[in-house]
Amino acid sequence: MTNPELLRRLKELGVITTTAHYDGYGDSGSVESVEARDKDSKEVKLPEDVRKAIEEAAECYLSNHGIDWYNNEGGFGDYILDVAARTQKLEHSERISDTEYSEHEDELDLTEGGEAPEVGAVEESTPVCACPTLINGHHAGCPFAAKGGA
């Protein structure tokens, strides 16, 4: 149905505005509902062909404006057709996924056995540094370095 024909049909039905609500994500989407109102703001029941033409007009408007509302996180909104003013408007919300990057790096523990012993697992007479940032067997300022610990 062409725009002039759609406007003519809506005027005949006494419709002043229509709102098509759409929603999409994950590579699919659709017009979820179409609502029409008369001059007294009362809802007007639309014939199936008119409702379908409004859905198509909404999808065409989204496409013509390059709005990707159905892929990935998608988007949602309302396509509003003002019959009296002969205007169309889009109120669109886009879903956005955000990520935060972090990176961690530590020196490898090269002590015998590949792992530092658990704290408290060694007798007090054999001091051991369990610091994960070992340099030549001890970390800077390690109290065990002076005691000959591993």
Distance CA 19, CA 44 (A): 12
Reduced to 3 states, what is the DSSP secondary structure of residue 43? strand
Domain of residue 8: give its range.
3-94
Confidence of residue 118 (pLDDT cuts 50, 70, 90): low
Assess whether 23 and 45 both reside in one domain.
Answer: yes
101 falls within a domain: no
Q: Which residue has the higher pLDDT, 104 or 36?
A: 36
Neighbours of 82 (CB within 10 A): 12
- The distance of Cα 53 from the centroid of its chain, to the nearest Å, equals 30
pLDDT exceeds cutoff 90 at 144: no
Assess whether 69 and 113 both reside in one domain.
Answer: no
Nearest to 32 by CA among 75, 94, 68: 75
Assess whether 114 and 78 both reside in one domain.
Answer: no
Determine the pLDDT at residue 148.
54
Question: With contact defined as beta carbons under 8 Å apart, do 85 and 74 qualify?
Answer: no
Q: Span 30-39, mean pLDDT?
A: 94
Assess whether 86 and 111 both reside in one domain.
Answer: no
Determine the pLDDT at residue 82.
96
- The distance of Cα 127 from the centroid of its chain, to the nearest Å, equals 53
Tens of pLDDT, residues 62-106: 888 888 887 788 899 999 999 999 999 999 988 888 888 889 888
Assess whether 16 and 81 both reside in one domain.
Answer: yes
Distance CA 94, CA 78 (A): 12
DSSP H helical ranges for the chain = 3-12, 48-64
Assess whether 23 and 49 both reside in one domain.
Answer: yes
Tens of pLDDT, residues 42-58: 999 999 999 999 999 99
In terms of pTM, does the model score above 0.85?
no
Determine the pLDDT at residue 130.
62
Position of tokens 């309302």?
A: 78
Q: Which two tokens stand for residue 46?
A: 């639309």
Ordered strands of the 28-37 beta sheet: 28-37, 17-25, 75-82, 87-94
Q: Span 123-133, mean pLDDT?
A: 55
pLDDT exceeds cutoff 90 at 8: yes
Q: Span 22-40, mean pLDDT?
A: 91
Q: Which two tokens stand for residue 110?
A: 């090269």
Determine the pLDDT at residue 122.
46
Determine the pLDDT at residue 97.
85
Assess whether 17 and 75 both reside in one domain.
Answer: yes
- The distance of Cα 116 from the centroid of its chain, to the nearest Å, equals 43
Q: How many domains does the chain have?
A: 2
Angle subtended by helix axes 48-64 and 3-12, to nearest 10: 140
